[in-house]
Amino acid sequence: MTTAEDLARRYEPGLADPRLADRNDLARRLAEAARLGGAVLLAMRAARDVKLKADGSPVCSADLAADHAAKAALARLLPGIPVISEESVADVAPAPLFILLDPLDGTREFLAGGDSYCVAIAVIHGGRPVAGAIAAPASGRLWFAGETAFTQDMASDGATIGEARPIAVRPLPAEGPATLVSRFHGDRLSDAVAAAVGSITTVPVSSAVKFGLLASGEADLHVRGGQTMEWDIAAGDAILAAAGGCILTLDGAIPRYGRADRGFCNPPFVAASSEALARRALAAAAAG
């Protein structure tokens, strides 16, 4: 059987660009940009000036302010790499090396006063994420990864606390997986697969925070049958893969990024703490 690792190796691009020589350092730079964007979101928790974008998703002044802060940091920390952001996707085209930015993943969570919203940033090379960072400032969590996955605590003002710590996925509990489901975007496929694989619990969580929880060994599975965008999952893909997990689309492939031809939309996918669990979930999805 072709494994996800085999697939990743098959498509792994040559990392000739000197900026990619130290992927952990690259991830730390992304983490700093995500942290700064997250600090802006904390400062604007009261923002409620909501508008609907063309696709029907909400946007507010906090999205735009965090977008500005993260882009300014990226221009300083990683100059010359084009940034494709959810808030300015039409302005920049994919390149062999580019950045995907979601300045506020979980806008509905943010507007509802919840904590599981985040800033998500990934560097994409050859269609795959080579580093990623997720800052969830209201939860006090920061995850980032290049070759290694790390987590770090955040203070109430968005500053980091203490040292970053390596993380890894956990072994599957004997009693069954803990499955994360979308708080605002549930779908029948996710519910059916969670039941079919014997989930001991289903926990509603918003945004790319789910990938951080999987990578930290705090949950085991997430299934998404509804629409997501590349900037929603690319950082989580990088972090989860570095921690020992994987994301697979329903046909068993690893996700590819920079697909402007499909409007940067992702196909349905499963994210799991192991490839074995991911393939169990894929089998359940196919049977259902």
pLDDT < 70 regions, the chain: 1-16, 56, 185-186
Residue 1: the pLDDT is: 36
Residue type at 233? I
The answer to whether the 10-166 and 178-287 domains have the same CATH topology is: no
Q: What's the longest Cα–Cα distance across the chain?
A: 51
- For the segment 209-254, what is each residue's pLDDT rounded down to a tens digit? 999 999 999 999 999 998 899 999 999 999 999 999 999 999 999 9
Domain spans of the chain? 10-166, 178-287
Task: Say yes or no: domain 178-287 is CATH 3.40.190.80.
Answer: yes
Assigned fold of 10-166: Fructose-1,6-Bisphosphatase; Chain A, domain 1 (3.30.540)
Please give the DSSP secondary-structure letter assigned to residue 105.
E
Instruction: Report phi then psi at 114, rounded to 5.
Output: -80, 180
Q: What is the pLDDT of residues 198-208, one digit of tens each?
A: 999 999 998 99
> Can you state the angle between helices 61-77 and 23-43, rounded to 10 degrees?
150
How confident is the model at residue 124, as a pLDDT?
97
- Among candidates 94, 147, 125, 132, which has minimal Cα distance to 16? 125
Tell me the helix, strand and coil percentages in the chain, rounded to 5: 40, 25, 35
Judge contact between 100 and 116, C-beta under 8 A. Answer: no
